[in-house]
Structure formats: C-alpha cells, structure tokens
Amino acid sequence: MEITKLFSLEGKTALVTGAAYGIGFGIAEALAQAGANLVFNCRSKEHLEKAMEDYEAKGIKAKGYLCDVTREEQVQEMIRDIEKQLGMIDILVNNAGIIKRIPMIEMSIDEFREVIDIDLNASFLMSKAVLPKMIEKRHGKIINICSMMSELGRETVSAYAAAKGGLKMLTKNIAAEYGKYNIQCNGIGPGYIATMQTAPLRERREDGSRNPFDSFILAKTPAERWGTSQDLIGPAVFLASEASDFVNGHILYVDGGILASIGKQP
C-alpha cells in the first residue's frame, strides 16, 4: 500500500468529543484534513455554535451535536443519530475532560465525582456505544486522550490523576477485550500544551521574568518548550489510520520527553 494511503482517513467518520476548542479542536481539524467526515459534540449550545463558526472559517465541514457525554441516554441517542445519518463511526476520540486543582483534603466528594464522571465514565459510555457497530463491521479505532497524570501524581490533582490513570487501564482493557474484532484502542498522553487555559501560566511578569510554573515546566522538559496542538495531530492521525492496525493498548506520550527525564539540576 502507498504510504499516503496508509495514513488516509478518506471515507471514514470520526467523532471527537468536546472538540469546540483547544486540543480537541486541533485533533478534529487534523482528522478532517486527512479525509475523515467530522462529527463532534458540546454540552453547551453557545460553544457548539461558536465551534461550527470556527470550523467553517477553516473550510472544514463538520456536524455538531448537543450531548452531555456523562448521560448514557444522550450518548446512545447521539450515536444512533450519527449512524443513521452518516453510517458507522469508524474513529472515536474521547477528548472531553475537565480538571479541578484543589488539594485533596479540601475537595468535596461531588467535585471528585464530577471529574471522574467526565474524564473517565464518559469515555466508558462513548466506547460502549460505538463498539457494537465496530464489532459487527470488524474494524474501528478508539483514541482516549490520557495525560502524564496517567503515570504521575502531583499536588492538587487527585481526581484528575485518578481519572486519567483509570482511562489508561480502560484503554488497555478495551484493546484486550475487543482486539480480536480488529478494533484498536490506544491513548495519547499530552504533556504540557500551550492553550488558552494554560496561557496565564506562560505570561511574563512585569519585570520580564517567567512565571515560576513556566520555568518549572521548561526545566522538566528535555525539549525545553511547551507543546502545541500541532504536536498532537501526527500521533492522532497515525492512531486513527490503517498505519496503526497492529498497535493496540498503547499510550503514546507526546510530552517532549518529560516522562523520560528526572529534570534539570537546579
């Protein structure tokens, strides 16, 4: 097979959850550019309409759905509608997620459960919904957006680390359980990515010095920079394409080398 065809997503339908902005938007854009029919969801009508405008501005044809991916009945209804209108979902990217930076002893059980619900349980519900058709057709790609916190812990992110650690193991279990149907389930573990959400951490202080957290990340990362959404699109297209047909249950960390390094000596 020609190498370009190996990475092509022509004729495939890709669903990316929470792809209104940030990492999800970048991955969705890349899958569309590789030829996929793009579908995404948002919980908010406002975010959905803004995302549709942003995709249109980039010349990308996308179909958006209002859906809370923590609600099984909404998930099942959305999947039924997509399959009815576009056919089988060939590629699912479980990207929707939140983080609450709260010390563990100050975090309420409701706050903990909300993070687990969105970052872990939603991926279970989405995967459960698309797997029957993938099993029937004997092909499918599921990509879970994990995190370095799938491997590491740090202060104030107990719920997030618990969810992303669980997502890593859910990824491996889907691969183990459904690999015989030619279904591949893998994860992408982004490092620290420059997004709107992390912009305040990268802003220079009035005296021109770096934010201490910015300095910390640069010292920890062998690449000596923050990642960008562009750094994630190659791995995403690879894991969504036939090029990764014998890659299963793997977490591809796109972190500039953080997990390989102890960091610079102060």
> How far, in Å, CA of 111 to CA of 214, rounded?
27
In whole angstroms, how far apart are CA 202 and each of 65, 147, 229? 33, 20, 16
- The span from the CA of 235 to the CA of 10, in Å, is 17
Q: Which of 160, 178, 192, 253 is catalytic?
A: 160
The dihedral built from the CA positions of residue 161, 165, 171 and 177, taken in this order, carries a sign that is: negative
Structure tokens at 228: 């960008």
Q: At what angle do helices 158-178 and 122-137 cross, to 10 degrees?
A: 10
Two tokens, residue 196: 């709107």
Could you give the CA distance from residue 111 to residue 215 in angstroms, rounded to a whole number?
A: 29
Could you confirm whether 178 is annotated as catalytic? no
CB atoms within 10 A of CB 130: 24
CB 141 within 8 A of CB 184: yes
d(CA 167, CA 120): 6
Residue at 195: amino acid letter: T
Q: Could you give the CA distance from residue 250 to residue 89 in angstroms, rounded to a whole number?
A: 21
List, by residue number, the catalytic residues: 160
